[in-house]
Homo-oligomer: A and B are copies of this chain.
Amino acid sequence: MPDEAKPGTPPPEAPREDPRLPLTGLRVVELGHYIAAPFATRLLADLGAEVIKVEPPGGDPHRDWGARVNGHAVWFSIHGRNKLSVTLDLRTAEGKEKLRALLARADALVENLRPGAIERMGLGPEALHAMNPRLVIARVSGYGQDGPYRDKPAFGAIGEAMGGLRHLTANPGQADLPPPRCGVSISDDLAGMYAAMALVSACWGRDRSPEGKGTVIDLDLVSSVFSLMEGMLPEYGLLGRVRQPMGAALPSAAPTNTYPCADGKWLAVAGNSDPIFRRLMTRIGREDLADDPRMAGNSGRCANAAELDEAIAAWTRTLPAKEAQDALEAVEVPCSRLFDMKDCVEDPHFQARDMLLPVEDPLIGATVPHPAAPFRFQGIAPRDMVRWPGPAVGAHNEHVFESLLKQEAKP
């Protein structure tokens, strides 16, 4: 590495800390693979935590996922960013001993191995707390650490299906095509987000209590999805109503839907408040509907939603999506085309908010555009929150094993 580190390429032997980031000083060990646990730790790393990703000698298989450049998956440039990578063979006594030494010096562990796996290594919560009572242990699994399905393999699609989300992601009466995924690994993402949130909360509570004891947190994909089911559980329990998919419409507001445009693209329109409804109807030349007493108030419009949707679609079909959006925005009707990645990159908003960060990635051998962290903090530029891209497998073995492990254990 050169002496002068360029942005995004710090020398692996001396990872940078930024004292302005909120979690600077929090040491988190990741025993994760694929998505959920590594996403949790990536968020923690963006927030400033010192995340040590423990990988088998061959690396997390996620490193091979999806499109590659220069032999490296571009997703991992993001998914592994701001982390230190060390390799350990946990089938050997030496590997387990090094992991134990690492955990003796850590604030927290995030793991998403199969339930029972760390216990079989002799590194279950009881053993870890005997060694380091401060350790916060966040465990992510498909179904949780107990219950009848505990030992079933966890797949993101199953979390979505069983948590109730996929049933809802459909057009009513959609008979020929399956309800689509929302296109990303949403159940892993949600579980990872909850793991990060619960872990930091446990650290906050620990560090203000006189005892300073760690805890064990049990996160699962199914509950993470199920937690978003709004009022549907009491609707069923008290009223016997089973929420059915509504396509792109909302169950209790109208008109709000997604409409076809002349260029084959779609426009989402939220016209469901009295003043917006009037402006929308006027713009599409349907003042008659704005004045129609049947359409007075949200409940009237909900009862006649199909008629309103047809009137709006009749207008959107005459224009390309961008023109239809411009026309409605000019009269302050909230709407948006369904952005693909090209739309995002070309939109002034993403540029102005510094959401697309150029990060030099020595593995990829190119400047890789990274999405900014989703949270921004006063006085910290989004680009300062990406300290380095996903590192090579074991890039920080020397730093961690030669220097960090020489430090005293934390407690």
Asked if A95 CB lies within 8 Å of chain B CBs, one says: no
Contact across chains for B178 and A233 when beta carbons are under 8 A apart: no
| Bound complex: CA A135 to CA B228 (Å) | 29
| Residues of chain B contacted by A250 (CB below 8 angstroms) | 157, 181
Contact across chains for A47 and B146 when beta carbons are under 8 A apart: no
Given A164-B339, A166-B338, A349-B149: A226 touches B371 (CB 8 Å cut-off): yes
Residues in A332-347 with C-beta less than 8 Å from chain B: 332, 334-342, 344-345, 347
| Bound complex: CA A373 to CA B181 (Å) | 24
| Residues of chain B contacted by A204 (CB below 8 angstroms) | 22-23, 26, 200, 203-204, 207
Contact across chains for B217 and A376 when beta carbons are under 8 A apart: yes
Segment at the interface with B among A4-12, A52-60, A74-82, A85-93: A74-82
| Residues of chain B contacted by A355 (CB below 8 angstroms) | 223, 226
* Choice from B157, B194, B246, B335 contacting A375 with Cβ under 8 Å: B194
| Residues of chain B contacted by A178 (CB below 8 angstroms) | 171, 247-248, 257-260, 266
Contact across chains for A166 and B246 when beta carbons are under 8 A apart: no
| Residues of chain B contacted by A202 (CB below 8 angstroms) | 22, 377
* Choice from B152, B175, B189, B239 contacting A228 with Cβ under 8 Å: B189
Asked if A348 CB lies within 8 Å of chain B CBs, one says: yes
Contact across chains for A205 and B22 when beta carbons are under 8 A apart: yes
Residues in A205-230 with C-beta less than 8 Å from chain B: 205-208, 215-220, 222-224, 226-230
Further 10 A-B residue pairs, CB within 8 A, beyond A25-B205, A148-B352, A178-B260:
A25-B208, A73-B231, A78-B233, A169-B181, A171-B177, A180-B247, A193-B197, A215-B378, A218-B377, A233-B370
| Residues of chain B contacted by A74 (CB below 8 angstroms) | 231, 234-235, 238-239
Asked if A125 CB lies within 8 Å of chain B CBs, one says: yes
* Choice from B73, B157, B347 contacting A256 with Cβ under 8 Å: B157
Chain A contact surface mostly? mixed
Contact across chains for B180 and A170 when beta carbons are under 8 A apart: yes
Contact with B along A247-263 (1 / 0, CB 8 A): 11111100011111000
Given A200-B204, A374-B223: A166 touches B235 (CB 8 Å cut-off): no
| Bound complex: CA A268 to CA B26 (Å) | 39
| Residues of chain B contacted by A163 (CB below 8 angstroms) | 339, 344
* Choice from B21, B229, B238, B348 contacting A205 with Cβ under 8 Å: B21
Contact across chains for B371 and A245 when beta carbons are under 8 A apart: no
A348 — nearest CB in chain B belongs to which residue?
B148
Contact across chains for A374 and B157 when beta carbons are under 8 A apart: no
| Bound complex: CA A223 to CA B353 (Å) | 9
Asked if A196 CB lies within 8 Å of chain B CBs, one says: yes
Contact across chains for A371 and B270 when beta carbons are under 8 A apart: no
Asked if A115 CB lies within 8 Å of chain B CBs, one says: no
Which residue, A245, A270, A340, A341, has most C-beta atoms of chain B within 10 A? A341
Contact across chains for B266 and A155 when beta carbons are under 8 A apart: no
Given A205-B24, A215-B378, A235-B67: A339 touches B370 (CB 8 Å cut-off): no
A154 — nearest CB in chain B belongs to which residue?
B334
* Choice from B153, B231, B336, B378 contacting A125 with Cβ under 8 Å: B378
By Cβ-Cβ distance, the 7 closest A-B pairs, closest first, are A168-B183, A75-B231, A22-B205, A178-B258, A237-B369, A74-B234, A227-B374
